[in-house]
Structure 1
Amino acid sequence: MAVPAAYPVESIDNAARILLMLVDNPSLRVADVSAELGVARSTAHRMLTTLQARDLLRQDAQTKGYGPGPALARLGIAVMGAVSLRDEARLLLEKLVEDTSETAHLLVLEGTETVFIEGVESQQVIRAGLRTGQRGPAHASAAGKALLAELSREELRRRYPGARLRGGTERAVSTRRALEAELQKVRETGYATNMEESEWDLCAVAAPVRNRQGVACGALSVSGPARRADAKLALLSGAVTAAATELGARLG
């Protein structure tokens, strides 16, 4: 049983209560929060949008309800132990390498960058190398686009307030409008590609890892030399999408 704070800060207490409401209800409405906290609907709305701005909540475009956001998912992973996520991913990364003969990685999204947190290297003589711990511009990578496609338009524009984008090769999208069009294609196909956009002669395919609540907490990616990877795009996309779905189911 939680022990009440001696000197509670009301705003922090209300934010905590909103997040704890997700334990019993995966989708929160303004009216629910207003009734639970005993505040006006306008106040409840401001609280929800503030938590959304920090990625702790995410609003469903159709239902308008608020559910767990990507930052809350990352926090949960950190609390439960990132090692368990990496252990679960490791088995599937090894299978991806076996099925595709290309290097496989697990990545997460931080702001407008992707971070490589685990990987298994291909045994091919000419291959993509391991990049664990490295960062790169999200808009120029397959995993980055797979995860950016999970964000709302409002959140995407908060992260990319300018019309121009920087980073990657000449093949990378260079405007926010082009990125939004690219992300729509990702939503339609279920996977994202990187055709020499982050580095020359490197191609990659990635798919988001969503837990059972539908929150993306990372992405799986397979990458290799452009000529070889481009020739087997169907194999790579099918394998990485299946692996990402399986990993998400394991996360619960």
Structure 2
Amino acid sequence: MATIDFDSEKGGNGQPGGVQSVDRALQILEILSRDGHAGVSEIAEEIGIHKSSVSRLLGSLVSREMVHQNSDRGKYQLGFGILRLASSIPGRLSLVREARPVLESLAEEFKETVNLAVLRSNYAVNVDQAMGPSSLATYDWVGGLTPLHATSSGKVLLAALSADERDRILTEAGFHARTPRTITNREDLEKQLIDVAHDGYAETREELEIGLNAIAVPIYNHLGTVIGAVSISGPAFRFDPQKIPGLIDALRQAGIRISVQMGYTHR
């Protein structure tokens, strides 16, 4: 198992080597959280340390499953260890547990991928996933941080925020285009969020990835506060929520069922 040699890491700013190593490891996690993925050179340049030091730190993080290396591109992204830490929070553990049967039921009924997401650090993070029997995609979204403005779950979470909190998040996160269809105009996004709040669901059509459509509804807690979102996504060539009989109503009911399990009293 790779380890960080705390004694050999000497801080140039007066910090003990171990403390500096921890600080740099946290910086790496923050970079991966913000960008989704990054290579050794990119990380080294941003932090301002040698690539060999970054490689050692990444090796330790990989061994703890805090970071995962993408075998196709050689870049690094956050790993399942982060999700395990997040899921130790009682509320989220309960949400995942209560939602699981509903996710599986939706995936079985509509034969597509179903995800459960919560808001964390200006992103929608997927905390559970159920795959439909005919899903073409095999990508595991669990633990992935996705941009709020380009995902159906993200739009549901944004629409539930106060104007001040939404403004803070959007100002910090920005409106980076993930595809030519991503909404990058604040006024256009705000108009869409009004519709989301009114209709009770959000859709995205190839806004996160070309060829991927999705629809999501909110999940409430006992106070009536939105604490998460459940979504169904599928290939654009066959998945159009508006044209699939019963899908929107079934997804709404799924959101309510999970919410009731979390103490919500539906009115």
TM-score normalised to the size of structure 1? 0.65
1:112 aligns with 2:158: no
Structure 1, gaps ≥5 residues long: 1-76
Q: Which of 184, 188, 192 is matched with 1:178 structurally?
A: 188
Q: In structure 1, which of residues 232, 235, 244 is the aligned counterpart of residue 246 of structure 2?
A: 235
SS at match of 1:108: strand
* Counterpart contact for 2:177–2:183, Cα < 8 Å: no
2:217 aligned with 1:203? no
| Larger RCO of the pair (alpha carbons < 8 Å, separation 6+) | 1
Distance (Å, rounded) in 2 between the aligned partners of 1:226 and 1:153: 32
Give, in angstroms, the shift of residue 170 of structure 1: 1.3
Question: Offset at 1:84?
Answer: 2.6
Partner of 2:46: none
Instruction: For residue 228 of structure 1, give the secondary structure of its aligned residue in structure 2.
Output: coil
Q: SS of the counterpart of 2:224?
A: coil
**TM-score normalised to the size of structure 2?**
0.61
Of the three residues 101, 109, 113, the one matched with 1:103 is: 113
* Deviations 1:72-111 (CA, angstroms, capped at 9, x unpaired): xxxxx96535333211111000011122111101001124
CA distance in 2, matches of 1:125, 1:233: 16
Identity of paired residues, percent?
36
Counterpart position of 1:62: none
Alignment RMSD, CA only? 2.1
2:231 aligned to which of 184, 196, 221: 221
1:192-213 deviations in Å (ceiling 9; x for gaps): 0110000010001000101131
Aligned-pair CA distance for 1:241: 1.3
Match of 2:151 in 1: 141
Contact 1:90–1:118 under 8 Å retained in 2: yes
Task: Tell me which amino acid in the other structure corresponds to 1:149.
Answer: A
Aligned length: 176
**CA separation of 1:114 and 1:81: change in aligned 2, threshold 3 A:** closer
Aligned to 2:179: 169
